[in-house]
Amino acid sequence: MKYKITTLVENCVYGRKLQAEHGLSLYVEAGDNVVLFDTGASDLFARNARFLHCDLDKVDYLVLSHGHSDHAGGLEAFLDINKKAKVVCKREALDPKFKGDRENGIKHSERLDMSRFMFVDKTTEILPEVWVFPELTVSDERDTHFEQFLVKRGGELIPDRFEDELALVLKGGEGLVVLSACSHRGITNILRCILSSFDNLPLKMVIGGFHIHNAPSEKDVAIIEGLKQSVPDQLGVCHCSGVDKYALFHSIWGDKVFYNHTGCVKEMDL
């Protein structure tokens, strides 16, 4: 299977006419099908898509990694542009979310057309060789990123352990590509779950945010130790990882590591 991943939105940008914002959106071409993984914080993903020659009308599924506004802020804009795609997410993604006193969940969820949604709670193949992973068991609490985040359930604000988080997996005979937007439940925990489900097929590429920008060093250590067990051929660091942590990972693994900026294009034949 041939895959092409184009980053429509990320915190950094290198390229004329493109713009960046604090958010993430990936346009994933899988053979003849297209998946959009998150929408960033606004309609910027759509404006950048035009410059990057990515046709949003061709999207078959929009997959929401979790219910934060920097990943689902462009949801209404997408539904206005594309009239056919299903929105794949966990039901918990629609719960009101907060960081401290600031609301940062999906806004105006009551206005959304629920017939467009496909709620998942089990590992699901949404297209040939394209899987969503909503069952992300935390086996190492050191690699979790829950601090200051709250969710409202039953009228009560409680600590958010991101039961709504999911990852996207692209599979082929040669190995796996894993996309994880923020990895609140921990990139090493996420990779353990995925690799155990696919008989430890080799990791060809991992792209994602690891939520460790300005995090204490023990978070870095947990990720570095975990990744040493299954270092991907290519590691695309972005968004909430921070450029500083990209530099750290690059110092350890060299050119296996790249910064996945707005406008970055990666192709792979699995």
175-193 per-position pLDDT tens digit? 999 999 999 999 999 999 9
Tell me: domain 2-269, CATH 3.60.15.10, correct?
Answer: yes
Average pLDDT, stretch 223-241? Answer: 94
Report the phi/psi class of residue 148: left, alpha or beta, with left for phi > 0 and alpha for psi in -120 to 50: left
Q: Is residue 216 very low, low, confident or very high in pLDDT (cuts 50, 70, 90)?
A: confident
**What is the predicted pLDDT for the residue at 108?**
84
Bridge partners of 99? 102, 149
Contact 172, 2 (CB under 8 A): no
Spatial distance between the Cα atoms of 143 and 66, rounded to a whole number of angstroms: 17
Contact 118, 88 (CB under 8 A): yes
Spatial distance between the Cα atoms of 201 and 125, rounded to a whole number of angstroms: 17
Contact 26, 57 (CB under 8 A): no
The Cα-based distances of 99 to 69, 149, 159 in angstroms read 11, 5, 10
Q: Check whether 109 has a pLDDT greater than 90.
A: no
Domain extent listing, the chain: 2-269
Spatial distance between the Cα atoms of 122 and 70, rounded to a whole number of angstroms: 24
Distant-in-sequence, close-in-space partners of 11: CB < 8 Å, separation ≥ 6: 20, 21, 22, 23, 238, 239, 262
113-167 per-position pLDDT tens digit? 999 999 999 999 999 999 999 999 999 999 999 999 999 998 999 999 999 999 9
**What is the predicted pLDDT for the residue at 127?**
98
Collapsing DSSP to helix, strand or coil, 252 comes out as helix
37-64 per-position pLDDT tens digit? 999 999 999 999 999 999 999 999 999 9
Spatial distance between the Cα atoms of 134 and 64, rounded to a whole number of angstroms: 11
| R_g over Cα of the chain | 17
User: What is the signed CA dihedral for 256, 259, 261, 266, rounded to 10 degrees?
Assistant: 0
**What is the predicted pLDDT for the residue at 111?**
86
Q: Check whether 101 has a pLDDT greater than 90.
A: no
Element housing 124 (H / E) = strand 124-127
Spatial distance between the Cα atoms of 126 and 143, rounded to a whole number of angstroms: 28
